[in-house]
Structure 1
Amino acid sequence: MDLIFASLEILARWDVVLALLVGSVGGVLIGAIPGVGPAVAIAILLPATFSMDPIVGLTVLLGIYGSSMYGGAIPAILINTPGTAVNALTTYDGFPMTARGEARRALSLAYSSSFFGGVFSVICLILFAPVLARIAPLFGSREIFLAALLGIILVVVAHRGQSLIAAALACFGIFLNTVGLEAVKYSKRYTFDQSFLSSGIDLIVVVLGLFALSQAFFLLQGEDEKTRITKLKGGLFQGLRELGRHPRVAGVSASFGVLMGMIPGVGEFTAQFLSYTYAQKSSKRPDDFGHGSSEGLIAAETSNNAVPAAAMVPLLALGIPGEALTAMMLSVFYVHNVVPGPQLFQNDMPFVVALYLALLILNVIVLVFLLFATNQLIKVVKIPNRFLGVCILTLSFVGVYSLRNSATDCIIAAVFGLIGFVLKRLSLPAVPIILGMVLGGIMEVKLRAGMARVKTPFDFIERPVSMILFLMILGVLFIHFRRVWLDRKELKQEKWSTKHSSTTFGAHLSRRRDYLLTERGKKLRAKRSMLSRRSTDKN
């Protein structure tokens, strides 16, 4: 209890309370606007948070991260357009409910499910915090290096069907981190005698370019869409009662969200897929899924909102971000000389619990706000895309310039904005670049520190935790390559069967054609002989 009281004392400040309100309400507004999303908003706000206290800046970003999925359900349900990428599965059952005239019920159920998933995740992590505090001291330089390597591998293999390009982009991110003065001997790397590269390529500049500027370019080149939304009638409290009728689906979905959130590179999409599949297979009415099933909507919204709090575990315990959003938050820690990792759990446990309590409080704030303000909130869906694009473009360049008052940073951000725009048009992931930059720096520092005590390669994995991590890396690689081999084998079998069936069918046609030609030849010969006899008789 002393730990809880110490954490509440950290949160009981007017600036932290204001940050909670601004982050939670602002996150809902951002999530409700299709085409923006939390990554763009966090990228724009990052420069402003560097001047705040760590708890204040992180609370704002956590508020946006944790509440944007609430808002993203609004356009997904009302106009079949997900506000954030992770709300795409919400459209499967949310919009059919709206088409049946049950928009109020669908929104209420989505809010209630998101609230349950968020609260469940935070409670689990508060209970596990003492366990993490005991495990954290077991991680030294070698263990953190292997954990970072495992994180990059998981990010790569998570992009199924795009593993090679994801690996290439992650390597590109690692390369970007090496540009400039290296940290030990201060020798220049890949600067090409250009003074502006001596200080390296700033992570925030790349983040703003890849996410904010690219999204602005994407919105500007599109067309504005007119949307009509009918005003909702009645209260939005019935979803809380309906959620209570499906405790199994809600509990399992929230558990999937917690587990998937703790694994770097996995995130909301895998949690949603597993939860939705489980809910459909265990349902008494599986045919309703995709046509307005309340269980399907619960599974999608519960699982995706259970991920944000769980995603903070590898970030806080090991200093390893599992996705782009937590990678951005890591930069806030570094700016204020707060180093996430084992020492944070040992020396500043109240700060860690305060972050979890902030996530818990923001879920309550968001639910209350949405239950009373949805009718006014749905108007933001009508904001034109091009106007949003201009606003994002302006705010992004202001944020980049404010970092170091450098026009060069603006040019670099614009270049990465074009790269991000191309990746969007080609449906390729930009996240591996960011994680490559962050994890590449961690791997370099920890590898150098760990190699000082290593004489043989086996010394690197002699300790229990490092051995477990090494076996996990081998297991992930084995599963991935086995899956690739099975996919290729299945593809070859499909090609062979297609070729074989077409060959058999072709041979059948060939034989049939020969038969027909033979019959026609017989008829032609018979006709010619008959004509010959007639001419002979006439003569």
Structure 2
Amino acid sequence: MDLILSAFEILMRWDVALALLAGSVGGVLIGAIPGVGPAVAIAILLPATFSMDPIVGLTVLLGIYGSSMYGGAIPAILINTPGTAVNALTTYDGYPMTARGEPRRALSLAYSASFYGGVFSVVCLILFAPLLAKVAPLFGSREIFLAALLGIILVVVAHRGQALIAGALAAFGIFIQTIGLEPVKYSQRYTFDQDFLGSGINLIVVVLGLFALSQAFVLLMDEDEKVHLTKLRGGMFQGLRELSRHPRIATVSASFGVLMGMIPGVGEFTAQFMSYTYAQKTSKRPQDFGNGSSEGLIAAETANNAVPAAAMVPLLALGIPGEALTAMMLSVFYVHNVVPGPALFQNRMDFVVALYLALLILNVLVLIFLLMATKSLIKVVKIPNRFLGVCILTLSFVGVYSLRNSATDCVMAAAFGMIGYILKRLSLPAVPIILGMVLGGIMEVKLRAGMARVKEPLDFIDRPVAFILFLIIVIVLVAHTIRVLKDRKERKEAEWQTKTSSTNFGGLMLRRKSSFLKGRGKQVRARHSKLLRRLTDLF
């Protein structure tokens, strides 16, 4: 109880309250605009948060991260266009509700499910915070290195069908991190005698380039789309009553979100599809899924909003981000010399609980705001793409230049913006690059520190937590290899069946064509013989 009271004292400041309000409302607005998303907004705001207190800066970023999915449901339900990538599954059942004249019911249900998922995950993590405080000291340099390595492996294998390119991009991120002064002897690496590379490539420059500038280029290149909005009818509070009729689906979906959020590299998509599949298989009306099922909408929205709070666990407990957004937040910790990891849970537990309480208050603020302001809020969907692109481009370059007052950083950000644009057009992931940069630095430092007491290779995993992490890494790699081989075998079997069926069909068509030609030949010869007899009789 004393811990919660001290956490509330941290939050009871006017600047923290203002940050909560700005983050929650701003996140909803950003999420409601298709094509922007929280990654772009957080990338743009990062330079500004460096001058704030850690709790204020992180509260703003957490507000945007946690509330953007609420806003992303608005265009997903009304115009069948997800506001953020994780709202794609919301369109399956949200838009069919709109098509049959129930947009307000769908929005209200989405808000209620999101609120339940967000509050459920925060309550779970506050209850488990003492347990995390006991487990965190068991992680030394070797354990954190193995955890970071596991994080990169999970991120790579999570890109099913693109694991090879994801691994290459993660390796590229690790290479970028090595440019500049190495952290032990401070010798130059990969600078090629260029002064501007001596201090390395700034993470924020890469983030702004890959996410903000690349998205600006996409918006500027694409044509503006005409949006036709449906009028809202009905009460906005009916979703709360309807959610209470499906407590099992809401609770199981939120549990999936908490579990998947704590695993680096997994995130919202896996939690969503697991909860959606569970809801469909256990539903009395599975045929309604994809056609406006309230259970399907609850499963999708509850799961994705339970992830943000859970994703903070590996970040705070081990200093290991599981995705691009938490990797950006990690830089705010480092700027203010607040190092996430076991020491944070031992020495600053009130700070950790304050962050979770901020997420709890954030969900309440967002729900109240959305229930009251949805009718006015939906107008942001009509903002033209190119106008958004120009705004993002301008704000991004201002943010990059403000880091070190360097025009070179702007050029480098533009270069990474082009790389990000190419990756977007090729439908390739940019997240592994960022996680490679962040986790690569952690791995290098922890590996050097851990190797000081290692005499033989097996000494590296001679402690229980290190051995468990090593075992998990082996299991993940073996399972992924088996899955790849199985997919390849199924693909070959499918290709063989297609080839066989096409060959059989081709042979059948040839036989039919041959018999048809033979029949036509007989008919032609008969006509010629008849014509010859007539000519003979005539002459």
Same fold at TM > 0.5: yes
Name the SS for the 2:321 alignment partner: coil
| Match in the other structure for 1:154 | 154
Q: 2-side partners of 1:16 and 1:191: how far apart?
A: 41
Give the whole-Å Cα distance in 2 for the aligned partners of 1:167 and 1:153: 8
SS in 2 for 1:337: coil
- Partner Cα separation in structure 2 for residue 74 and residue 520 of structure 1: 64
Q: Which residue of 2 aligns with 1:482?
A: 482
Q: Which moved more, 1:319-328 or 1:218-227?
A: 218-227
Match of 2:270 in 1: 270
Contact 2:125/2:310, CA 8 A, preserved across alignment? yes
Task: Tell whether the 8 Å contact from 2:102 to 2:233 is kept in structure 1 after alignment.
Answer: no
Match of 1:83 in 2: 83
Where does structure 1 lack aligned partners over 5 or more consecutive residues? none
Report the counterpart of residue 171 of structure 1 in structure 2: 171
C-alpha distance in 1, partners of 2:512/2:98? 56
Partner of 2:363: 363
Q: Which amino acid counterpart does residue 19 of structure 2 have in structure 1?
A: A
Matched residues in 1 for 2:532 and 2:34: separation?
83
Q: Quick check: 2:290–2:296 contact (8 Å CA) kept in 1? A: yes
The aligned residue for residue 291 of structure 1 is 291
2:260 aligns to what?
260
Q: Tell me what 1:69 maps to.
A: 69
Aligned partner letter, 1:146:
L
Return the alpha-carbon distance in structure 2 between the equivalents of residues 199 and 81 of structure 1. Answer: 42
Aligned twin of 1:433:
433
Q: Distance in 2 between matches of 1:532 and 1:310?
A: 92
What TM-score do you get using the length of structure 1 for normalisation? 0.96
Partner residue in 2 for 1:419:
419
What does 1:2-401 correspond to in 2, within 5 Å?
Answer: 2-401=2-401
How far apart in 1 are the matches of 2:536 and 2:383? 93
List alignment gaps of at least 5 residues for structure 2.
none
Distance (Å, rounded) in 1 between the aligned partners of 2:375 and 2:60: 25
Deviation at 1:280, TM superposition (A): 0.9
> Which whole-Å CA distance do the structure 2 matches of 1:518 and 1:225 have between them?
58
Instruction: Give the TM-score normalised by the residue count of structure 2.
Output: 0.96
- Which residue identity lines up with residue 124 of structure 1 in the other structure? C
Counterpart of 1:382, as a letter, is K
CA distance in 1, matches of 2:8, 2:435: 32
Asked if structure 1 preserves the Cα contact closer than 8 Å seen for 2:7 and 2:351, the reply is: yes
Deviation at 1:528, TM superposition (A): 9.7
**8 A contact 2:103–2:233 mirrored in 1:** no
How far residue 228 of structure 1 moved from its aligned partner, in angstroms, is 3.1
Measured in 2, the distance between the counterparts of 1:374 and 1:157 equals 39
Structure 1 residues 518 and 173: CA distance shift in structure 2, 3 A = same
Paired letter, 2:197: L
SS at match of 2:235: coil
- The range that moved more, 98-107 or 229-238, is 229-238
CA distance in 2, matches of 1:189, 1:33: 42
- 1:230 Cα deviation (Å)? 4.4
Deviation per residue, 1:340-391 (Å, 9 max, x gap): 0111111111110110000000000111111111111111111111111111
> 1:498: how far off?
2.4
Q: Size of the alignment, in residue pairs?
A: 539
Deviations 1:183-219 (A, max 9, x none): 1111111101100000000000000000001111111
8 Å CA contact 2:105, 2:234 repeated in 1? no
> Take 1:243 and 1:116, find their aligned partners in 2: how far apart are those partners?
9
Paired letter, 1:309: A
- Give the letter aligned to residue 472 of structure 1: I
| CA distance in 2 between partners of 1:523 and 1:473 (Å) | 74
For the residue of structure 1 that corresponds to 2:453, the secondary structure is coil
SS of residue in 2 equivalent to 1:306 = helix
Q: Offset at 1:533?
A: 11
Q: Taking structure 1 as reference, are residues 184 and 225 closer, same or farther at Cα in structure 2, changes over 3 Å only?
A: same
1:435-487 CA distance string (max 9 Å, x none) = 00000000000000011111111111111111111111111111111111001
Q: What is the identity, as a one-letter code, of the residue corresponding to 1:238?
A: Q
Q: Percent identity?
A: 82
Distance in 2, Cα, partners of 1:77 & 1:512: 52
CA-based RMSD of the aligned residues comes to 2.0
Following TM superposition, by how much is the alpha carbon of 1:249 offset from its aligned partner in structure 2, in angstroms? 0.7
- Secondary structure of the residue that 2:73 maps to in structure 1? helix
CA distance 1:527–1:194, shift in 2 (3 Å): same
Q: Please state how far the C-alpha of 1:14 moved relative to its aligned partner.
A: 1.0
Tell me the distance in 2 between the aligned counterparts of 1:79 and 1:167.
35
Give the C-alpha shift of residue 100 in structure 1: 1.4
Distance 1:366 1:489, change over 3 A: same
CA deviation profile, 1:78-124 (whole Å, cap 9, x unmatched):
11111111111111111111111111111110110000000000000
Which is worse superposed, 301-310 or 5-14?
5-14
